[in-house]
Amino acid sequence: MMDIRNIAIIAHVDHGKTTLVDKILHATSVFRANEETGELIMDNNDLERERGITIFSKNAAVTYKGVKINVIDTPGHADFGGEVERVLKMADGVCLLVDAFEGPMPQTRFVLGKALALGLKPIVIINKVDKPNCRPDEVHDAVFELFFNLDASEEQLDFPTFYGSGKNGWFNDSLEQIEGIEPLLDGILKHVPPPKATREGSLQMQVTSLDYSSFLGRIAIGRVARGVIKENQPITLMQADGTVKKQRVRELYVFEGMGKKKVAEVVAGDLCAVVGIEGFNIGDTLADFDNPEALPTISIDEPTMNMMFSINNSPFFGRDGKFVTSRHLRDRLMKETEKNLALRVKDTDSADSFLVYGRGILHLGILIETMRREGYELTIGQPQVLVKEIDGVKCEPFETLVVDVPQEYASKVIDLVTRRKGEMLIMETKGEMQHLEFDIPSRGLIGLRTNMLTNTAGEAVMNHRFSEYKPWKGPIPGRNNGVLLAKDNGQTTGYSLDKLQDRGFFFVDPGEEVYKGMIIGENNKPGDLVVNPNEGKKLTNMRASGSDAASNIAPKRLMTLEECMEYIQQDECIEVTPNNIRMRKVILDEEERKKQSKRMSAEAI
């Protein structure tokens, strides 16, 4: 039987997880010498490459000194915590990567806490020691303190530490620079225990993630916890709700390098992909045919935010999307909940709208961006936090916010956060940077990033993670200024935009098509203003000096999807199509909006 090690690589965003996986793949000769591989090999999704972050966890397997090492690359963002929580179930050890300058960050704490609770053996890797003003010894002490605060066992506190630079391709158990990452691979073989699984007994395997192939259909991925699973073997699928289905395994694959290899059987302790099982969900157990025993189901932290997803009902409906009906939208959202465990979808009173619950703006933003690239058109409403009643008290989610910012901007950051009901917990100096930690309601984070980057000349580095539900903090000020709205359908003209420039700034350029009720800019003052951006210049046959002076129009402000989600207010929504992202009022007609606001104020009284 082959010797196996299962390791998950965990770290905060941008601390070098995917780069480390690259180096492991190269060091164990997964690729031919002349093969072009590029960088960040595991981030093979377009969105991951564009944003430089890992969104979906992935598997690879390498062989080193006759031992098979299954490597699981995990996401670093709190919004994808659901991905991390379930894949840690497949591992026996974790490699915790920490940046030699930044030290442990909020995300590190979140993922490490989950790993230690599962009893996994940790190896600490202090990465980027080639950076100027890095502080590996201080970071090592900070990591030890973090382990201690997370109630690590005596054995877990005695963790081995490796230092190195993933970019330069070396890791060592001391700060002495060497060639290659072999000391780290030796450390994995030495410190990570082989799987505790036993071949004896009936089959047990939990589905911890799924893959899809247009040729093979849905594929169940997981780790065999007990017994042996074989090709063509009859099995029992045990579901979380207690349903039991008799099925048969059609094909079996194990991971090899970046791909999969077909095998006849997989023994306990190894990770495998099973083809031929129908109707399974993540967390279900594949068990013995005759005397099935289920494994405990996977529990995932609850969502903290929801948004309304509706069909696109703007005047430009159906222009550039392939999937535009409510049936398309519903099917796509239901399909997403199968593999995205932290996501929930609920029907509403309207057949055209669905409430989607997620872990944060980025979590929902990635789903919307993926859908628009697949050809969907939809309208999304303002993100709302989930409010709970605990012991008769109205409570809302709070997050721990960590901001690293140059010292001259620290006061601006503190001012911005305290205005949004945040409380400062820690303030310390790290080199030339000020390290600030706050406790802030999740509502206060919506729209904060854009404001903070504006006020700190783009220098602030902001991270946050959910901490707990606490009593409601009262109203939080939203956007101060109103918006500029288009009066009629038509094309914007340079002439009219030039005349309106003193009213505010624009989200559209001359020559763009707009419709009545669409948000085309931000007003300089509070309150919304309806303007006519489509007016052309009246032509005369008389020419006067100066009257034809070239108009100087400031370029439009480009807004990303996440920025739009943070920008809009309660009575606004975003129209998302494959080629455009437009902000608009929910009620497009001005008269109707006035009637609605009168009704609302009458009800409030």
Neighbouring C-beta atoms of residue 26, cutoff 10 Å: 16
Residue 108 is part of a domain; what is its CATH number? 3.40.50.300
Q: Do 36 and 161 sit in the same domain of this protein?
A: yes
- Verify that 84 and 222 share a domain, yes or no: no
Does a structural domain hold residue 152?
A: yes
Task: Cite the annotated binding site by residue number.
Answer: 14-19, 127-130
Q: Are residues 110 and 42 in the same domain?
A: yes
Which residue is it, tokens 């010797």?
3
| CATH code, 272 | 2.40.30.10
| In-domain check, residue 564 | yes
463-474 residue pLDDT tens: 777 788 899 988
Shared domain for 17 and 135, answered yes or no, is yes
Residue 36: predicted pLDDT: 41
State the burial class of residue 2 (Cβ atoms within 10 Å of its Cβ: 0-12, 13-18, 19+): exposed
What's residue 117's pLDDT?
A: 84
User: Which of 446, 471, 496 finishes a domain?
Assistant: 471
- 259 and 141 in a single domain? The answer is no
Helices (H), 251-406: 326-339, 361-373
Q: Has this prediction a pTM greater than 0.75?
A: no
Number of domains, the chain = 4
- What are the structure tokens assigned to 508, written together? 């559209």
The C-alpha atoms of residue 74 and residue 85 are separated, in whole angstroms, by 9
Is residue 196 in some structural domain? no
| Pair 488, 588 in one domain | yes
CATH number at residue 556: 2.40.50.250
Average pLDDT of the residues in 407-424: 90
| In a shared domain, residues 32 and 170 | yes
List the domain range (segments joined by +) for residue 220. 204-287
Check if the beta carbon of residue 42 is closer than 8 Å to that of residue 16: no
CB 399 within 8 A of CB 449: no
pLDDT class for 379, splitting at 50, 70, 90?
very high
Domain assignment present for residue 355? The answer is: no
Of 191, 221, 240, the one marking the end of a domain is 191
Q: Does 589 fall in a domain?
A: yes
Distance CA 342, CA 299 (A): 10
Give per-residue pLDDT as tens, 87-145: 787 888 888 888 888 777 766 777 788 888 888 888 888 888 887 778 888 888 888 88
Q: Hunting for tokens 């192939």 — which residue is that?
A: 213
- Which alpha helices (H) appear in 420-529, and where do they start and end? 442-445, 448-455, 494-499
Written as one letter, the residue type at 143 is V
Residues 183, 221: one domain? no
Q: What pLDDT does 17 receive?
A: 67
Q: How far separated are the first and last CA of the chain, in Å rounded?
A: 75
> Does 489 reside within a domain?
yes
Asked if the structure places residue 331 within a domain, the reply is no
3-state SS, one letter per residue, for 301-342: CCCCEEEEEECCCCCCCCCCCCECCHHHHHHHHHHHHHHCCC
pLDDT tier at 545, thresholds 50, 70, 90: very low
Confidence check: pLDDT of 591 > 50: yes
439: domain CATH number? 3.30.70.240
The reply to whether 451 and 524 lie within a common domain is: no
For residues 488 and 466, membership in a common domain is answered with no
**Boundary-marking domain end, from 287, 315, 340:** 287
Residues in the annotated binding site for GTP: 14-19, 127-130
pLDDT band at 187 (very low <50, low <70, confident <90, very high): confident
Q: Are residues 180 and 266 in the same domain?
A: no
Residue 520 phi, psi dihedral angles, 5° rounding: -110, -5
State whether 237 and 260 are in the same domain: yes
